[in-house]
Amino acid sequence: MLLAIDVGNTNITYGLFDGTRLVCHFRSASSRTRTEDEYAVFVREVLSLRAIDYKAIRSAIVASVVPSLTDTMVELVRRAFAREPIVVGPGVRTGMPILYDNPREVGADRIVNAVAAFEQVHGPVIVVDFGTATTFDCVTPKGEYLGGAIVPGIQISAEALFSRAAKLSRIEIAVPPRVVGRNPAHSMQSGILFGYASMVDGMVARINDELGYPSAILATGGLAPLIAKLTTSIERVDDTLTLEGLRIVYERNSSG
């Protein structure tokens, strides 16, 4: 089996593949204070709870946007499974040309998302990833990574509002009953969620206008299901897109 690990700024997502089938996936917080051994114990305990023998893991791949956790994840794989993982970065074959000015500056998660999305649609695609930051990543009709946009994530935006406005209290990130809020909580929910959905639709429209051709629009990330249903542009949500991209990249680097 293949263990795929996606290290984000807020969460680490783990996926276990048997061939092309995703057997299970789970998350932990991206704690910079946890040791390699603590992460190793966590992963093995979760696998045990799901009746999966850790010895069945024969390979691993890691994508990380948190440099301080990259080595930690590599050591986790070494200690828990006695394997040497592939780390997505320079020198790793993705099968996708990178047209960014400096390919080394593109986050590993953005590349594997693009790889997985193009594998699904076999054509131009925009991936909207609702993570700590929300990213828009564009793939050309030829399957080239073109670039994209980065905006503050929903939680970051909400926290900035709560911390800077003395009379506004923290609220649940949930869809309000109407756009025109009639109390502070509903007004903030409307601005955060409907406003964010409108931003997504606006960005997708601007990107498509600039590209000059229509693209499929895929969404992923923790808040994707909530936001996607409020947009008119997002066609499909795939919450395991990054893990699928890691599996594909692993296969492209293990087949010689």
Q: Which residue has the tokens 């789970």?
A: 26
Q: Does the annotation mark 109 as catalytic? A: yes
Question: Is residue 12 within 8 Å of residue 6, measured between CB atoms?
Answer: yes
At 23, is the secondary structure helix, strand, or coil?
Answer: strand
- Each as own residue / partner, the long-range contacts of residues 79-84 (CB below 8 Å, 24 or more positions apart, any chain) are 79/36, 79/37, 79/40, 80/40, 80/43, 80/44, 80/54, 81/3, 81/54, 81/57, 83/57, 83/58, 83/59
At 201, is the secondary structure helix, strand, or coil?
Answer: helix
Question: Is residue 157 within 8 Å of residue 132, measured between CB atoms?
Answer: no
The residue from 6, 109, 137, 238 that is catalytic is: 109
Quote the tokens at residue 108: 């590993």
Active site residues: 109
